[in-house]
Amino acid sequence: MRPGTALLAILLVLTSLAGHLAVVGPAAAAECLSGAERRQAVQSGQAMRPGQIRRAVQGEMIDLKLCWRGGRLVYVATVLGAGGAVRRLTVDAFSGALVGR
Pick from 55, 61, 65, 80: nearest CA to 33 = 65
CB 93 within 8 A of CB 74: yes
Mean pLDDT over residues 60-81, rounded?
A: 95
Q: Whole-prediction pTM value?
A: 0.68
Q: Which value, in Å, is the radius of gyration of the alpha carbons in the chain?
A: 19
Q: Which of 7-16, 34-43, 89-98 has the lowest mean pLDDT?
A: 7-16
Residue 101: the pLDDT is 73
